[in-house]
Amino acid sequence: MSSSKSPASNPVIIPDPNQNGSTIRKAFVLEAIANLFTIPLITNTRFILSILLLRPYDINPASILFARLFGGIVVGGLTSALLAGATNTRNGIESRRPTYLLLGVGEAVLIPILALEAAKGGRDAALSMKVALGSIGLLLPPLMWRCYVLFVRPDLLGRYSEVAGGGSGVAAGVGGSRTKCE
């Protein structure tokens, strides 16, 4: 018989003072704030598309809808995941690796799509070469940072210790024996 467990009943944790994820927490907040610059894509879609697209006269209800959906995913989904990972709770610390993997995979898929768009050189392209290359320039540094963190310095993601016999939540100065978690 297997037992189930509610996340609300997690044992108390203490963030590891030597690997508290401080750098990543700051990076998560910075990226979440940067993602908020996507809000105009939701609120002023036609204007933003007219700046981004090579042929603004091609803007139609479908392109507006898909731009808004994209903006909604960035603002609602990705920004929320980043803000959750910025917390020094069990769930926050444990979500950092999957969040970076998710964002990295997204960037790894978008970069070749944008490169193909840039390679069109204006003919049959939706974006100008300048916008496509600029977008790659904005996506490549975060992807390289994520690869560095995930594969070279995973210690930056932070660690925590469980407090034996503790209740739920995060401990602040609570004593007790500790068990290292990987």
| Residue 176: predicted pLDDT | 38
Cα 166-168-174 angle, rounded to 5 deg: 45
73 near 115, Cβ under 8 Å?
Answer: no
82 near 29, Cβ under 8 Å?
Answer: yes
Instruction: Label residue 20 by pLDDT band (50, 70, 90).
Output: confident
Task: Give first-to-last CA distance, the chain, whole Å.
Answer: 26
pLDDT digits (tens, 9 = 90+) for 44-74: 999 999 999 999 999 999 999 999 999 999 9
Question: Average pLDDT, whole number, for the chain?
Answer: 87
Kind and range of the H or E element at 161? strand 160-163
User: What is the residue extent of each domain of the chain?
Assistant: 17-180
Report whether pLDDT(175) > 90. Answer: no
CA diameter of the chain: 67
pLDDT digits (tens, 9 = 90+) for 110-169: 999 999 999 998 788 999 999 999 999 999 999 999 999 999 999 999 988 887 765 554
| Residue 149: predicted pLDDT | 97
* Distance in angstroms (rounded) separating the CA atoms of residues 101 and 106: 9
